[in-house]
Structure 1
Amino acid sequence: MVERTASRTGAVWSYLGAALVGFTFVGIFVIWLVPLVIRARTRNPWTRAHATHAANFGFTVLIALFGGGLVSAVFGLSASYPETQPLPILLWSCYTLVGLVALLVGALRTGLGQDFRFVETISLRLLG
């Protein structure tokens, strides 16, 4: 438990940094940056694990952003079903809101010294 207590700050900032930087208009493209920097600079395995989780979520958001944009473009070009045009944007907005809440819960739990992992359906495990 000493290892977790000493490294709470880095673990909390992995999630908070992603939330603060990522959920701005331009920052959504670099949501993975803050956790990746913390992951690269820390030697503590507990902080590194949480920074990896936050970076994985950031990369997943980036993939969802481009995938949602592609789906929106495809549905946007299809004039035969105009009622489906806002669907990809609505889905991505819900994903973003759930992700923001998950990042804040992650920061809170790591601040208390507890473990936190994203649900596998909202975060791909891209980094090991």
Structure 2
Amino acid sequence: MGYVKECEATAHQRVAEAEMRIREVGTPGMQRAAEVKMLEAAEELDRIQLAGCSLFPGHRGRFVKCTSCGNPFHDEGSYLAHWRYGPTGRLGCERTASILKVMGFVSDEYRYPGESWPEYVLRHPDRQTR
């Protein structure tokens, strides 16, 4: 969970910086822009914190698994990438395979000794980390 914790710390820092900018700016237009940046940073922090609560680390060794949807992921960056705000504005993980494919996810097949069925591990090529 190192990568998720690092992302959370960065998001906390962005929220704090945005709050400072709100207090420092003088004109209403600049203050509104700073408030928008703060809200964006707060949304990202919410997404990371909720995702961190549903992370099952060390699934089958180096893979991570989402306890919410049950999908295994290649790395924590790919895991975080499947959390998003849906059409209703609700934050959650995307579990539909076709939508994950549209989002850029690919599925790698892994076979483990003693098991006759493969496990499909999701990976987002743009999000590979550790």
**TM norm structure 1:** 0.42
Q: Rg: which structure is higher?
A: 2
Answer 1 or 2: which has greater helix percent.
Answer: 1
**Highest RCO, 1 vs 2 (Cα 8 Å, sep ≥ 6):** 1
Answer 1 or 2: which has greater strand percent.
Answer: 2
